[in-house]
Amino acid sequence: MGKRILTIIGVIIVFLVNTNVYAGTCTKTDLIKAVDYAVGLINSKGKSALPELTKYRYCNGEGYIFVIEIDGKTILQPANPQLEGKDITVLQGAKGEYFGAEMKAKAQKYGEGWVSYVWENPKTKGLEIKCSFVKTATMDGKKVFVGSGIYGIPLDDCK
């Protein structure tokens, strides 16, 4: 009887891992919902939304929100607070791509957009494709863009 229960538990764990229920895989839909939530918060509360967004996480704590002035100066970056006050447009991915400049350009031209780049995944410590979504908001009368990025989205789907 004990062996049978362990087998059933093993089958359940394999199912959960293989279907990403247990693994906590984040989707593009999760990413868009998080950014839309943050945009709504900034549009309604302005700078007073920043403390809440600093703590805000989604996708089992892996996803976070960043906020950038429309000219590229970082306002909020919970994963890398040392970037706050710095120009995101000079940041390069592992393959030399200026992803911050691309985010800024898409936010300015289209109001939102997808950007992919290679970055170190803090969970795996490996270089992986990161898919980010940015969208404009108005914070206390000034235009900003709000975004977030996740790993595990195939390059062709990061759009």
How far is the C-alpha of 113 from the C-alpha of 109, rounded, in Å? 9
Write the CATH number for 113.
3.30.450.20
35-72 pLDDT, tens per residue? 999 999 999 999 999 999 999 999 999 999 999 999 99
pLDDT at 25: 83
What is the number of structural domains in the chain? 1
Does the residue 1 lie in any domain? no
Does the residue 122 lie in any domain? yes
Residue 3 predicted with pLDDT over 50 = yes
88-92, 112-116, 131-135, 152-156, range with the lowest pLDDT: 152-156
Which residue range(s) make up the domain with 98? 27-157
Does the residue 93 lie in any domain? yes
Task: Report DSSP state, residue 40.
Answer: H
pLDDT at 22: 36
Coil, helix or strand at residue 127: strand
Does the residue 11 lie in any domain? no
Question: Nearest to residue 68, comparing CAs of 123, 1, 148, 156?
Answer: 148
Coil, helix or strand at residue 63: strand
pLDDT at 155: 87
Residue 23 predicted with pLDDT over 90 = no
94-128 pLDDT, tens per residue? 999 999 999 999 999 999 999 999 999 999 999 99
Does the residue 5 lie in any domain? no
Does the residue 137 lie in any domain? yes
Per the prediction, the chain carries an average pLDDT of 88
Does the residue 103 lie in any domain? yes
Asked whether 147 and 63 are in contact (CB, 8 A), the reply is no
Does the residue 6 lie in any domain? no
